[in-house]
């Protein structure tokens, strides 16, 4: 079995106002940040219009960066905020649709697994994730907004997980 030097991963932190994305070339030796940012969706628009915009923007990012894998956070529903999970599910559905249409492998990861992978603690705070991502990629400042760091953490976790699988 021949191991490739790197794999391009698009990590996504779904949201209906801000969807974070991070594109990395993952390598066990040293991963390289290719691009990262947020897709900003207008909160005053209907959910349907925001989903159309999310699909348009994400399709463009996929076409530009040609990832081999798209990693996305699994849904987590807290009993106190079930509406949040439902709304996130809409955005996540669009993300899965875009990946499937493009014929790209999809990897879903639990939030605590992502945090564990980059910080060593499954219940790390957003700031801890931001600082870990800053250190890993040698950034001058922490990634802002936190959705960017979360997306990069998703991509890193995916790469690390694939590295350990046979």
List active site positions: 13, 73, 147
Would you give the distance in Å from CA 14 to the centre of its chain?
A: 7
Backbone phi, psi, residue 15, to 5°: -165, 160
Q: Are 17 and 43 in contact (CB under 8 A)?
A: yes
């Amino acid at each position: 079995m021949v191991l490739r030097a790197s794999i391009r991963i698009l990590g996504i932190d779904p949201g209906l106002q801000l969807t974070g994305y991070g594109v990395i070339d993952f390598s066990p030796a040293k991963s390289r940040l290719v691009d990262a940012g947020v897709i900003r969706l207008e909160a005053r628009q209907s959910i349907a219009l925001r989903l159309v915009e999310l699909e348009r923007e994400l399709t463009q990012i996929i076409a530009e960066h040609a990832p081999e894998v798209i990693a996305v956070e699994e849904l987590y529903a807290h009993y106190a905020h079930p509406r949040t999970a439902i709304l996130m599910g809409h955005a996540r559905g669009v993300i899965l649709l875009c990946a499937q249409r493009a014929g790209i492998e999809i990897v879903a990861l639990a939030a605590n697994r992502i945090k564990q992978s980059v910080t060593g603690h499954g219940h790390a705070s957003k700031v801890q994730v931001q600082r870990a991502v800053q250190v890993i990629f040698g950034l001058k400042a922490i990634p802002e907004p936190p959705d960017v760091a979360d997306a990069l953490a998703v991509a890193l976790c995916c790469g690390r997980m694939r590295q350990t699988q046979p």
